[in-house]
Amino acid sequence: MATATATQTKTAGTVGLKQFIDGRWTQGTGKNEIRSVNPADTRQVLAQCRGASRQDALRALEAAQKAFPRWRAVPAPSRARIIEKVVHLARERKEELARILTLEEGKIFPEALGELEKGINLLEWYAGEGLRFMGHTAPSELPKNLLFTVREPLGIVSAITPWNFPWAILCWKIAPALVAGNTVVLKPSSLTPWLAVEFVKLFESAGLPQGALNLVIGAGSEVGDVLVEDERIEAVSFTGSNEVGVRVHALAGKRGVRVTCEMGGKNPCLVWKDADLELALAGIVKGAFGSTGQRCTATSRLILHEEVADSLVWQIVEFAGSLKIGDGLKPGIGLGPLIDANQLHAVLKWIEIGKKEGAKILCGGKRFTAEGCRNGWFVEPTVFDQVTPSMKIAQEEIFGPVLSVFRVRDFEEAVRISNHTRFGLTSAIYTQNLSLALRFIEESQVGMVHVNSPTIGGEAQVPFGGVKASGVGEREMAKEGILFFSKPKTVFLDYTGKKRESNIY
Ligand code: UN1
């Protein structure tokens, strides 16, 4: 088990953070101090602030409410132009922001840069959506009667975001909410508040009016509950764990407001015997160990055709052994730390459970404490073989670099195993056989399916999200993001100028 690491020290370099309410940076009035700590070296307190209280959350809501009439009156293309400015500002500061991301979250710098790029793509997409914030026209049954729809914002919305994509997820929730004319209260994870502050500053610099975007940083459920339960909130967009998501969904559902919850995954990758094995290997290790396995789209179950299983498994193990573990800002590092002690304990606990269940551990399985890594939350990349579908490690989301291997003989069995989980976020198949790929696309019970590419990732212009326990509510990104944050109004415009003889109504 992990032991306590060295004492954390605030230094002159520790950045002081504040809440952003009604266009002003203010001190929180909560009881707790929030600390952003470098997970690669927990002696470093990167940033800190006083947490937000319930009262602060209520003030943020009031600010959003006050700002709403003015913001919705701004034409959608002009709203979007502010996002366009954010795109430019973020591009200029991309490296610096990616560095903060690595320091605060731990993912290696090239991955942080990738996340920055993806977030900027999303901002860019939604800046364009401002010009397409449109309804449609329809032919009427009646002459001289115009039927059309316009889209309107919902009002005040809240966004509750996790630590593992502390930039991209903010982009894909906040940009569509604002472009559609809503005002927003954002609550980022208290583990990654620094990047959230930088994110909000970009909108401030781009000229977003006072109160349109508010930021409350708080740990625990005090602030989050207000952002789900307050009757002024018209929609809640949440990404995070299953337990919290189910609660958010139930609370918001009770009030009958819109809610989207993007939650866990237990994503399978199937490799058929005819696959390009080099390609498959690259996709598996990226999917399983990329972002230290801390992504809902991570590959956590590998279903191999038995003819290729042995050689592929040993190549994966070899790759895992060659991965350099350490501080993600250092060149050559391939695996960063887990986010915190809780996450480390949880991952190590799952590994113990796997061993007890009788899965065979091929590599990893322990905390990594080599020189230079003693003060961080590092874990070895871990591969379990001889996993059976009903084992807990085959069913529950681990959120760490832990891969479970299954061996199969026929395609039906492979599909059955891949669907044998309560989750349904993403899946992948490696094959050269077009009909097998198409059958997998059809039968895989997920929201996103990949052919000859890893289970991870997404692009701004296509919807992102899952089925079963992986998600409820509207999908995110793409057009769907705008649809979630807006509603249609249907207009019947009769220009006959006289009484009709029709009984159609
Ligand atoms: C990705 O795989 O690039 O929390 C995105 C998560 C997801 C985002 C994953 N919401 O891991």
262 is catalytic: yes
Same domain, residue pair 253 and 386: no
How far is the C-alpha of 425 from the C-alpha of 475, rounded, in Å? 11
Same domain, 279 and 191: no
The torsion of the CA quartet 282, 283, 287, 289, rounded to 10 degrees, works out to: -10
Pair 376, 362: CB distance under 8 Å: no
On whether both 272 and 333 belong to a single domain, the answer is: yes
Question: Based on the domain organization, do 289 and 254 belong to the same domain?
Answer: no
CA distance 50 to 188: 14
Cα-Cα end-to-end distance for the chain: 71
Summarize pLDDT for 202-250 with one digit per residue, the tens: 999 999 999 999 999 999 899 999 999 999 999 999 999 988 999 999 9
4 band by pLDDT with thresholds 50, 70 and 90: very low
> Is 262 touching ligand 1 by the criterion CB < 6 Å?
yes
Strands 145-153 and 137-138: antiparallel
Report whether pLDDT(434) > 90.
Answer: yes
Number of domains in the chain: 2
Across the chain, what does the average pLDDT equal? 96
The reported pLDDT for the residue numbered 329 is 98
CB of 8 closer than 8 Å to CB of 45: yes
Angle, helices 76-92/168-179, rounded to nearest 10 degrees: 160
Long-range (24+ apart) CB contacts under 8 A made by 449-452 are 450/426, 452/275, 452/276, 452/279, 452/283
Whether 41 maps to a domain, the answer reads no
- Dist CA 123 CA 168 (whole Å): 9
Q: How many CA atoms lie within 13 A of 494 on its CB side?
A: 9
Atom of ligand 1 nearest to the CA of 298: 2
Residue 254 burial class via C-beta count within 10 angstroms: exposed 0-12, middle 13-18, buried 19 and up: exposed
Domain containing residue 417: CATH number: 3.40.309.10
Would 482 be classed as within a structural domain? Answer: yes
- What is the whole-number distance in angstroms between the Cα of residue 217 and the centre of ligand 1? 21
Q: Supply the Cα-derived Rg of the chain in whole angstroms.
A: 24
pLDDT band at 38 (very low <50, low <70, confident <90, very high): very high
Q: How confident is the model at residue 5 (pLDDT cuts 50, 70, 90)?
A: very low
> Distance (Å, rounded) from C-alpha 505 to C-alpha 500?
11
- Whether pLDDT at 505 is above 80: no
CB 248 within 8 A of CB 236: yes
pLDDT digits (tens, 9 = 90+) for 417-426: 999 999 999 9
Indicate the pLDDT class of residue 501, thresholds 50, 70 and 90.
confident
**Ligand 1 neighbour 104 (Cβ under 6 A):** no
| Three-state SS sequence of 5-51 | CCCCECCCCCEECCEEECCEEECCCCCCEEEEECCCCCCEEEEEEEC
Indicate the residue type of 5: T
* Residue 411 and residue 357 in one domain: yes
Question: Is residue 301 located within the same domain as residue 414?
Answer: yes
Q: Report the CATH number at residue 80.
A: 3.40.605.10
| In-domain check, residue 461 | no
> Are 480 and 364 part of one and the same domain?
no
Using one digit for the tens of pLDDT, what is the confidence trace for 318-332?
999 999 999 999 999
The verdict on 402 and 479 lying in the same domain is no
Domain end among 403, 424, 451: 451
In a domain, 33, yes or no: no
Residue range 159-168: mean pLDDT, rounded: 98
Residue 319 lies in a domain: yes
Evaluate whether residue 89 is within a structural domain: yes
Is 37 domain-assigned?
no
Residues 313 and 251 in one domain: no
Share of the chain above pLDDT 70, in %: 98
Total residue length of the chain? 505
pLDDT score, position 281 = 98
Read off the pLDDT of each residue in 175-191 and give the average, rounded to a whole number.
98
> Is 254 found in the same domain as 216?
yes
Choosing from 129, 262, 380, 397, the catalytic residue is 262
pLDDT at 500: 86
What pLDDT is stored for residue 447 in this prediction?
98
Domain co-membership, 122 together with 142: yes
- Percent over 90 (pLDDT), the chain: 94
pLDDT over threshold 80, residue 1 = no
C-alpha neighbours within 13 Å on the C-beta side of residue 54 = 7
Global pTM?
0.96
Answer yes or no: do 316 and 302 share one domain. Answer: yes
Ligand 1 lined by 72 (C-beta under 6 Å)? no
Indicate whether residue 114 lines ligand 1 (CB < 6 A). Answer: no
pLDDT digits (tens, 9 = 90+) for 268-290: 999 999 999 999 999 999 999 99
- Given pLDDT bands bounded at 50, 70 and 90, which one contains residue 9? low
What residues make up the domain containing 235?
15-26+53-263+470-490
329 occurs within a structural domain: yes
Please tell me the predicted confidence (pLDDT) of residue 3: 43
Report whether 401 contacts 350 (CB < 8 A). Answer: no
- Ligand 1 atom closest to the Cα of residue 458 is 3
- Confidence at residue 11, expressed as pLDDT on a 0 to 100 scale: 73
296 is catalytic: yes
